Amino acid sequence: MSGTDDPLVEAEDLAAELDRADPPTLLDVRWRLAGPPGGEDYAAGHLPGAVFVDLDTALCGPPGPAGRHPLPDPAALQSALRAAGVRTDHPVVVYDGGDGMSAARAWWTLRWAGHRPVRLLHGGWPAWVAAGLPTSTRVLAPAPGDVRVRPGALPVLDADRAAALAAADDAVLLDVRAAARYRGETEPVDPVAGHVPGAVNLPAGEYVADGRFPAVGALRERFAAAGVVEGRPVGAYCGSGVTAAQAVLALHLAGRPDAGLYVGSWSEWVADPERPVATGPTTGS
């Protein structure tokens, strides 16, 4: 892809942008599901000028019935983004430890909040280091930003809408977790195993590898094989809305900016014992 609205930027191109008089705002959002906190990685080395933003506490709400990574409170998100130096209409680049998942959730959150000029460093921190580009351990205190959070700029699915997509013949809900989790054979994080009845399994590893996306044509072919075709509404979910945010980014690359994210994902779905759970390799209940 090319153009100012691309969701991805390569390391060498970003390095050139950082040499400009008014470079993009850099957000380091490195994160691991099981810890330790990404701030430790940031302290050990980061892109020059980057500010660390914690996915769990700054970009998401507290865990609970709405899931492990629910939507953040808009006022709290605005405060966190301003503290990180995010300015109205000024470009932002987010990066993570290389798998692209937390960076994709950060990209999605900023876009949902109405901040359109945000991109993801393709390949994350490893791509920057592999390119031999400079790093820093200096912790900056950025000038406060003035970004205004305006929620709702990207489609969000709740449990009812996700269920409707999964059940409809003319729509598709993608479950992007590993196949064993989808089938209900194992569940390492949430209390119930299985999937939303009618959802189609498309594990993340089938459309992204090591945090890097294939060519647009290959993405479109893979999504089409899972039932994502023009004119057919599409949404995605995972365990808690992080890996699924990466799926939504991939769908944007493939020409589907209308793709909805079920933010609560499986962790919200199973919080209500009345919601049905399917198991096995096929869709349906």
Q: pLDDT band at residue 246, thresholds of 50, 70 and 90? A: very high
Q: How much is the pLDDT for 37? A: 85
Q: Which residues pair with 93 in a beta bridge?
A: 26, 119
- For 173, the enclosing helix (H) or strand (E) is strand 172-175
Average pLDDT over residues 88-115: 98
Q: How much is the pLDDT for 140? A: 85
Q: How much is the pLDDT for 4? A: 44
Average pLDDT over residues 136-143: 93
Which is catalytic among the residues 238, 250, 261, 270? 238
Q: How much is the pLDDT for 5? A: 72
Q: What CA–CA distances, in Å, run from 207 to 221, 249, 276?
A: 10, 11, 28
Torsional class of 180: left (φ above 0), alpha (ψ -120 to 50), beta (otherwise): alpha
Q: pLDDT band at residue 33, thresholds of 50, 70 and 90? A: confident
Q: pLDDT band at residue 175, thresholds of 50, 70 and 90? A: very high
Q: How much is the pLDDT for 1? A: 35
Catalytic residue status for 60? no
Q: How many CB atoms lie within 10 A of CB 36?
A: 8
Cα four-point dihedral sign 33, 35, 37, 38: negative
Query: pLDDT tens across 35-55, in order?
Result: 888 999 999 999 999 999 999
Q: pLDDT band at residue 3, thresholds of 50, 70 and 90? A: very low
pLDDT at 57 over 60: yes
Average pLDDT over residues 81-107: 98
Query: pLDDT tens across 68-86, in order?
Result: 999 999 999 999 999 999 9
- Whole-model pTM? 0.96
Distance from C-alpha of 233 to C-alpha of 227, rounded to nearest angstrom = 10
Domains of the chain: 8-130 (3.40.250.10), 156-269 (3.40.250.10)
Q: How much is the pLDDT for 95? A: 98
Query: pLDDT tens across 141-172, in order?
Result: 999 999 999 999 999 999 999 999 999 999 99
Q: What is the mean pLDDT of the chain?
A: 95
